[in-house]
Amino acid sequence: MKIGVYVCECGSNIAATVDVEEVVERAKEFPNVEVSRVYKYMCSDPGQELIKKDIEEKDLDRVVVAACSPRMHEPTFRAVLEDKGLNPYVLEIVNIREQVSWVHENKDEGTDKATSLLKGAVLRSALMEPLERKKVGVKHKALVIGGGIAGIQASLDLADMGFKTTLVEKTSSIGGKMAQLDKTFPTLDCSQCILSPKMVDVSRHPNIELLSLSEVIEVDGYVGNFKVKIKKNPRYVIEEKCTMCGDCLPVCPVIRHDEYNQGFSPRKAIYIAYPQAIPASYAIDPEACLGIDPLICAKCRDACGPEAIDFDMKPEIIEEEYGAIIVATGYETYPIENIGEYGYGTIPDVISGLDFERIISSGGPTGGKILRPSDGKVPKTVVFIHCAGSRDPSKHLPYCSKVCCMYSTKHALQYKHVVHDGTAINFYIDIRTAGKDYEEFYQRAAEEDQVIYLRGKVSELFQDGDKILIKGADTLTGETVELHADLVVLATGLIPSEGTKEMAKILNVSLGMNGFIREAHPKLKPVDTAISGVFVAGTVTGPKDIPETVSNASGAASRAAGILTQDELEIEGTIARVDESLCRGCGICVDACPYSAIELKAINRYGHTVQVAFVNEALCKGCGSCAAACLNSAITQLGYTDSQILALISALGEE
């Protein structure tokens, strides 16, 4: 056993508070130390050469470097070892900069502490073993779950890069919530107009397989090799044959609330979500249809010229393998039925933000005319209530939903554009206009469109005759405000969608406190999750506006591509290893693992079937939780074994 010790001065960074010469001298006395040197900048080329020369000439088998944090130069020094044929995992780095020099002022104390840490490292180093980096293969296909703008953008980016991508969407058309919006702030671009070209691109792209009316029901495997089961629900209409002529509509006897128009207009059991839907085909809603199996009505099939209706379609299970997955399952809006002081959703003229989008949309239930749901008259006074359900830790959502100040301003502005002599009043607490050109938009609404902003939250509202009485406050003048409105629009916030909850369970990604998927790091890894190979994009992680969502989607696509471009993935050697003979199959390690990287499998031991833990080396991140949790000490954390740690601790314990 021959250990080489190298202490770095790091200019005055370390040398100022640690007497490095002294440390090097003391290190020569430690067991197994063959050579002990100091150098001004160990990470520099000459510094590295110093180590390389010693490895060769002195036949070293372990190297200890005392310098800055391993986060800085662990890869650098590992490369040095590899260059000279040593296993990179027999390198030990001692942090005497951040952990000693930068936090102590007294040089004597600093020197003693550095020596102590170095001794621990030397004792541990003697026990370190060479480790292997395993390789796994990669399937070059991507799966995108969710067909809103985030999923659409991510799929297009991946497909343009040349990867085969499957886009799975639960409903009959992609487009998501953005397809329901009328105009987008702050440019007032028509939402459908900017979205449709992307949707058509998806349908035409040779690298994208679009599975609509489909759901992911099972995901197994690990990064590079996800085994996925997708359930494709029957459309009962053959997509390629449907010409969208609409001859089936008049003959269908069933009427339902149209979900696309928020229930304000009717649709039939055979329907198309909206004219620009992709796939461009009608679909039959099996729950609305009078009967498919056994067949009861079938009038639509008789009326269909191109013979596109096929009642024999059955659900299919598609099994496929993917290298990376992007979850983009979007949001729902907070239901106004939950807010008691605003009527629990029972007052017809009190509507949500998304309801208003449909009313003002020219493709909506009123053809773009702003009419009251109760009597169809044009409202002359419209009140917009911000923070309806958001910023309310007491009974609703504790967080701010980010986009409502902007969309309420947009609504007020749009209302004034259509009803010139109307009054728009926005009750707000704070106006949040943090995006590009957002503040100017707010200024425009107030200055050019005379939208009235009153600072104060509405306490309650109720039906008073055919108007709605609002009890609010103007905190800036210190008065209560009571007024009658013809229409009230509640700026409801954003909550995680049903799809998000389901996917989180299937993929084993953790949800944050508010039900949104938790990113790997809120600041530096916004599109990764704790599971390798699973990425996220869009409002699935929290409220976002459209530019952010699109950036997110491209980011996720690029992260996914990082995996898909490779033929093999290397896995870090410092993973957990189970000694099967000691494992009693209790499963505590499975619960302890945050990465779902360990599971119990049945094996045959001397004729008995027992459960034994197996580590999925591709998913294991070497955190050591399982090793610590194991009651039988059956699990070893490679590179950080118990004996190594104990040796380190005993050195630190000495005077």
Nearer to other proteins, 339 or 445 (CB): 339
Q: Which of 26, 177, 391, 544 binds other proteins (CB under 8 A)?
A: 391
Q: Which of 2, 84, 455, 501 binds other proteins (CB under 8 A)?
A: 455
- The continuous run of DSSP H or E covering 80 comes out as helix 70-83
Determine, following the binding rule CB under 8 A, whether residue 376 of this chain makes contact with other proteins. Answer: no
Please identify, using beta-carbon distances, which residue of 484 and 584 lies nearer to other proteins.
484
Residue 360: Cβ within 10 Å count: 21
Binding segment for other proteins among 33-41, 154-162, 259-267, 385-393 (CB under 8 A)? 385-393
CA distances from 348 to 81, 360, 378 (A): 74, 17, 14
Rg, the chain, Cα only: 32
Task: Give the DSSP H/E element, type plus range, for residue 414.
Answer: helix 404-418
Binding residue (CB under 8 A) for other proteins from 21, 290, 344, 439: 344
Toward other proteins, which CB reaches closer, 117 or 495? 495
Locate 180 and state its tokens: 């329901």
Least distance in angstroms from the C-beta of 636 to other proteins:
47
Q: How far apart are CA 327 and CA 559, in angstroms?
A: 13
Instruction: Rule CB under 8 A: choose which of 203, 463, 508, 558 binds other proteins.
Output: 463
Member of 227, 471, 518, 621 binding other proteins (CB under 8 A): 471
- Contact between 474 and other proteins by CB under 8 A: the answer reads yes
Interface stretch with other proteins, choices 35-43, 470-478, 531-539, 570-578 (CB under 8 A):
470-478
Which C-beta is closer to other proteins: that of 245 or that of 344?
344
Nearer of residues 260 and 453 to other proteins, judged by Cβ: 453
* Site for other proteins contains 588 (CB under 8 A): no
Would you count residue 472 as binding other proteins (CB under 8 A)? yes
> Per CB under 8 A, does 37 bind other proteins?
no
Question: Which of 380, 379, 397 is closest to 388 using CA atoms?
Answer: 397
Provide the residue type at 141 as one letter. K
Angle at 349 between CA 347 and CA 355, to 5 degrees: 105
513 binds other proteins (CB under 8 A): no
Residue 335 touching other proteins (CB under 8 A)? no
Of 474 and 591, the one with the shorter C-beta distance to other proteins is 474
Q: Compute CA distances 230 → 102, 142, 219, 321, 482, whole Å.
A: 54, 14, 9, 11, 54
Q: Which two tokens stand for residue 311?
A: 């009642």
Tell me which of 243, 475, 510, 514 binds other proteins, using CB under 8 A: 475
Q: Which is nearer to other proteins, 437 or 482 (CB)?
A: 482
Kindly state whether residue 338 participates in binding other proteins, applying the rule CB under 8 A.
no
Element (H, E) at 503: helix 498-507
- Position 256 contacts other proteins (CB under 8 A): no
Query: Read out DSSP for 220-262?
Result: EEETTEEEEEEEE---SB-TTT-----TTTTT---EEE-TTTT
Helix, strand or coil, per DSSP, at residue 390: coil
If one asks whether residue 466 binds other proteins (CB under 8 A), the answer comes out as no
Stretch that binds other proteins, among 208-216, 220-228, 246-254, 390-398 (CB under 8 A): 390-398
Distances 515 to 146, 170, 216, 237, 397 between C-alpha atoms, Å: 17, 20, 19, 36, 11
Nearer to other proteins, 383 or 630 (CB): 383
Binding segment for other proteins (CB under 8 A), chosen from 371-379, 393-401, 440-448, 594-602, is 393-401
Separation between Cα atoms, residue 298 and residue 306, nearest integer Å:
15
- In the region spanning residues 411 to 430, those forming contacts with other proteins, defined by CB under 8 A, are 429
- Using CB under 8 A as the binding rule, whether residue 432 contacts other proteins is answered as no
Binding status of residue 392 toward other proteins by CB under 8 A: yes
Residues 6+ apart with CB under 8 A from 244: 272, 275, 280, 281, 282
Q: Is the peptide bond before 365 cis (omega within 30 degrees of 0)?
A: no
Least spacing, CB of residue 349 vs other proteins, in Å: 15
Distance CA 216, CA 502 (A): 9
Stretch that binds other proteins, among 368-376, 476-484, 568-576, 629-637 (CB under 8 A): 476-484
Residue 480 binding other proteins, by CB under 8 A: yes
Number of H helices, E strands in the chain: 16, 34
The residue range among 215-223, 260-268, 336-344, 489-497 that interacts with other proteins, by the rule CB under 8 A, is 336-344
Tokens of 475: 């905190």
Which residues neighbour 147 within 8 Å (Cβ) at sequence distance 6 or greater? 167, 168, 169, 171, 173, 174, 175, 176, 210, 212, 328
Nearest CB to other proteins, comparing residues 44 and 459: 459
327 vs 336, which CB is nearer to other proteins? Answer: 336
Give the residue, chosen from 98, 440, 464, 498, that forms a contact with other proteins under the rule CB under 8 A. 464
- Tell whether residue 479 is a contact of other proteins (CB under 8 A): yes
* Shortest distance (Å) from residue 586 CB to other proteins: 38
Q: Is 340 in the site for other proteins (CB under 8 A)?
A: yes
Report in angstroms how near the CB of residue 492 gets to other proteins at its nearest.
14
140 is a site residue for other proteins (CB under 8 A): no
Number of C-beta neighbours around residue 564 at 10 A: 23
Burial class (CB in 10 A: 0-12, 13-18, 19+), 51: buried
Chain contacts with other proteins (rule: CB under 8 A): 340-341, 344, 346, 387, 391-396, 429, 455-460, 462-464, 469, 471-475, 478-481
